[in-house]
């Protein structure tokens, strides 16, 4: 069967060195997928850092911009963390992504590695479900200057420092004062991120098709401070009022040390991430499987 996607880029756990045991397993998985694509007649390329860290020279190595301009599809072999990193970078180019799960949970890398051949054969032939995920743009402003900017697919989190004590945050939405939050921190999460840190902090699950974000306080001082769903067309501003050593993180990968008076402004990105899932994929099936819903508890 001929693939609908001729030029395919492979992305592995590019932070992992192939000399380690986990790195060797990751390399073997990427090689297996590459050989499968070869057999389908695809032109295979490796993401640059994947090729470098895994010591792979059998295929052309391409940077992100080259993949975005030259490739029809990117296959990510790893876990959700790998997909988050590459998804943010590929979004401006509109290249669709398929995730082959070699991690643990796999909310967005949903093709099991053990059965990837059967799933990919169908998907590359055109039998797939397309799913778009929104992104967050965030900027940190200090004394009128933008001192940090980042993009997130999961969430933006403002946290108190390692020392004891809460952080106090002033929250505005579209210029309207909402509340002063005294808590361990505050999460602004996309629907994709609603199954991550926001869920652990007591936030609701948002279906990916909902054009909204969830704002979730972390261990709030006042228990009436509850999670709230906001339109993702809004501009959210979070000002650090008090608290020591506060920081902001963006998908847990970028950090910015914050000072009193700093403002974190959150807006919707004009880009989105394109995911392809196996035919028959359902968001609810994913939740049921990953969150172990409806499993019978056997008394011992």
Active site residues: 80
**Sole residue written with tokens 């050593």:** 245
Nearest-CA neighbor of 181 among 293, 264, 67?
A: 264
* CA–CA distance, 290 with 199 (Å, rounded to integer): 13
**Sole residue written with tokens 């796999």:** 106
264 token code pair = 């974190």
Sorted by sequence, the CB contacts under 8 Å of residue 88 that are 6+ apart come out as: 135, 151, 152, 153, 251, 273
Q: 3-state SS of 191-247?
A: CHHHHCHHHHCCCCCCCCCCCEEEEEEECCCCCCCCCEEEECCCCEEEEEEECCCCE
Query: How many angstroms separate the Cα of 178 from the Cα of each of 89, 101, 172?
Result: 32, 40, 5
Sort residue 288 into left (φ over 0), alpha (ψ -120 to 50) or beta.
Answer: alpha
**Sole residue written with tokens 């199954």:** 195
């Amino acid at each position: 069967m001929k693939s609908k996607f001729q030029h395919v880029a492979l992305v592995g756990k590019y932070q992992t060195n192939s000399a380690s045991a986990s790195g060797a397993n990751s390399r073997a998985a990427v090689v297996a997928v590459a050989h499968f694509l070869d057999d389908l007649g695809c032109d295979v390329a490796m993401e640059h850092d994947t090729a470098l860290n895994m010591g792979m020279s059998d295929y052309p190595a391409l940077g992100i911009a080259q993949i975005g301009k030259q490739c029809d599809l990117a296959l990510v072999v790893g876990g959700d963390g790998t997909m988050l990193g590459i998804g943010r970078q590929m979004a401006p180019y509109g290249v669709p992504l398929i995730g082959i799960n070699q991690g643990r949970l796999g909310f967005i890398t949903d093709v099991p590695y053990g059965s990837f051949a059967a799933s990919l054969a169908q998907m590359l032939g055109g039998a797939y479900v397309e799913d778009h995920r929104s992104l967050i743009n965030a900027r940190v402003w200090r004394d009128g200057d933008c001192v940090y900017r980042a993009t997130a697919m999961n969430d933006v989190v403002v946290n108190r420092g390692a020392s004891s004590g809460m952080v106090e945050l002033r929250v505005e939405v579209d210029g309207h004062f909402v509340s002063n939050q005294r808590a361990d921190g505050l999460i602004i999460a996309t629907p994709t991120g609603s199954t991550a840190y926001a869920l652990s902090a007591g936030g609701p699950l948002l279906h990916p098709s909902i054009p909204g974000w969830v704002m979730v306080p972390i261990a709030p001082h006042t228990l009436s401070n509850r999670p709230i769903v906001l339109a993702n067309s809004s501009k959210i501003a979070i000002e650090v009022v008090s608290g020591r050593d506060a920081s902001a993180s963006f998908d847990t990968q970028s950090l910015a040390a914050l000072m009193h008076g700093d403002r974190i402004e959150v807006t919707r990105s004009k880009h989105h991430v394109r995911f392809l899932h196996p035919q028959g994929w359902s968001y609810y099936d994913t939740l049921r499987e990953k969150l172990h819903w409806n499993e019978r508890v056997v008394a011992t």
